[in-house]
């Protein structure tokens, strides 16, 4: 048995049917059924394959409880999006890298920057990703969107039952 934690290698005993070696996360679609909020996986992440569509029988339920993606809506191609992200290991982390001129620059790494890259490649929007100051509370983040500081905020959320 080898354990490191949230983002590092994880390995379990051969007799247990659980993941071996690595991280595994889901991006979930929230939906209401029977007057209850449910979360259903629609994307999965592993350190081996990166973000992939979750294909184990769950589909995205769109507005109006439809299985068909809406059409005729606004497209994001060539639209500049101001995206606020929250620093939280392993979701969004800061890394210092040296550029081709020998200067140190910072780069955002982690699951959320990877997810933004995946979405940007599929939807062709122009991301302007900014790290939200650490003195902001989670409860105050919605106000930043309402005040048009950001178009969208992406961060970690823990669902507990």
CATH number (domain holding residue 95): 3.40.190.10
In a domain, 75, yes or no: no
Structurally, the chain folds into a number of domains equal to 2
101 and 61 both lie in a single domain: no
150 and 84 both lie in a single domain: yes
How sure is the predictor about 101, in pLDDT bands with cuts at 50, 70 and 90? Answer: very high
Evaluate if residue 65 carries a pLDDT over 70: yes
Evaluate if residue 112 carries a pLDDT over 50: yes
142 and 109 both lie in a single domain: yes
- Coil vs helix vs strand at 7: coil
Q: Is the pLDDT higher at 158 or at 109?
A: 109
How far is the first Cα of the chain from the last one, in angstroms, to the nearest whole number? Answer: 28
Q: Is the pLDDT higher at 146 or at 61?
A: 146
Residues 23-44 have a mean pLDDT of 75
60 and 118 both lie in a single domain: no
Mean pLDDT of the chain: 80
In a domain, 38, yes or no: yes
* Separation of alpha carbons 3 and 67, rounded Å: 40
Residue range(s) defining the domain that contains residue 84 = 80-154
97 and 133 both lie in a single domain: yes
User: What does the pLDDT read at residue 159?
Assistant: 58
Domain boundary residue, one of 11, 31, 65: 65
Those residues whose C-beta lies under 8 Å from the C-beta of residue 84, and which sit 6 or more positions away, are 130, 131, 132, 141, 144, 149, 150, 152, 153, 154
In a domain, 159, yes or no: no
User: What does the pLDDT read at residue 86?
Assistant: 92
Evaluate if residue 80 carries a pLDDT over 90: yes
Domain boundary residue, one of 65, 90, 109: 65
Q: Other C-beta atoms within 10 Å of 116: how many? A: 20
* Separation of alpha carbons 72 and 40, rounded Å: 26
Give the whole-number percent of the chain exceeding pLDDT 70: 80
In a domain, 145, yes or no: yes
Domain boundary residue, one of 65, 89, 118: 65
User: What does the pLDDT read at residue 29?
Assistant: 76
User: What does the pLDDT read at residue 49?
Assistant: 77
């Amino acid at each position: 048995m080898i354990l490191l934690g949230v983002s590092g290698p994880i390995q379990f005993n051969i007799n247990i049917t659980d993941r071996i070696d690595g991280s595994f996360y889901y991006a979930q679609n929230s939906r209401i059924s029977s007057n209850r909020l449910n979360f259903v996986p629609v994307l999965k992440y592993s350190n081996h394959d990166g973000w992939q569509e979750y294909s184990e029988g769950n589909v995205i339920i769109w507005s109006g409880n439809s299985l068909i993606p809406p059409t005729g809506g606004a497209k994001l191609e060539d639209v500049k999006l101001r995206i606020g992200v929250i620093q939280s290991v392993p979701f969004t982390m800061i890394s210092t890298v040296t550029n081709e001129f020998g200067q140190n620059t910072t780069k955002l790494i982690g699951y959320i920057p990877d997810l933004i890259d995946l979405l940007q490649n599929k939807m062709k929007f122009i991301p302007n990703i900014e790290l939200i100051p650490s003195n902001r509370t989670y409860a105050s983040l919605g106000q930043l969107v309402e005040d048009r500081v950001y178009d969208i905020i992406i961060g970690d959320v823990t669902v507990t039952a």
